[in-house]
Amino acid sequence: MVFELQPHLVGDLLELRPLRPDDWDGLFTVASDPLIWEQHPARDRYKEEVFNEFFREALETGSAFVVIDRKTQRTIGSSRYFGLDLEKREIEIGWTFLARSHWGGKYNAELKRLMLDHAFKFVETVVLLVAPTNGRSRKAVERIGGVMRERRAGADPHRQNVEHLVYEIKKP
């Protein structure tokens, strides 16, 4: 079986569908909130020129989703798969952000459950990278079963050195 990187996933609260160029307006409306990015290494991602690069890269990956609230049919965020490693039977879920109106657990939990359930049809391990300073994301990953396995050096979008905590979730 081939890992489909952009399936259409539907839960009780959310719908995840492949990101398209015409999702720009709705997604930037969400992303333009500076408080979403305050603990993130790319703290300026709320700026249009910075988010434009993020959006362009997301489209190019062929693995990004737009997240839609099923009740309101409004765009509330995005996430994506990255770095499929068939030898390790591993993939990353990341670049996730949600509107502050949808913070607090149940939306992120369903978003990740939908993506994890799909991923575990093909891989044994899902990894999630979180900046050590991003307490909100660390708690959210731990709430869904993520276990920290290592620290990893990397670069942020501005080519500055950053450290990530690598969490993993194993297939049940």
pLDDT mean by block of 10 residues, the chain; 172 residues: 94 98 98 93 92 96 97 98 95 96 92 98 96 89 94 66 89 94
- Tokens matching residue 135: 């307490």
Between CA 109 and CA 139 the distance in angstroms is: 12
Query: Of 53, 69, 60, whose CA–CA distance to 20 is shortest?
Result: 60
pLDDT given at position 128: 95
Q: Please list, in sequence order, all residues whose beta carbon lies within 8 angstroms of the beta carbon of residue 43, skipping any fewer than 6 positions away.
A: 34, 37
CA distances from 50 to 53, 67, 95 (A): 5, 20, 14
pLDDT given at position 158: 56
On whether the CB atoms of residues 137 and 37 are closer than 8 A, the answer is: no
Q: Would you state the CATH architecture of domain 9-170?
A: 3-Layer(aba) Sandwich (3.40)
DSSP 8: -
**N- to C-terminal Cα distance for the chain?**
19
Backbone angles phi, psi at 75, to 5 degrees: -70, 130
> Alpha helices, DSSP H only, in 32-134?
48-61, 106-119
Query: Of 100, 84, 92, whose CA–CA distance to 33 is shortest?
Result: 100
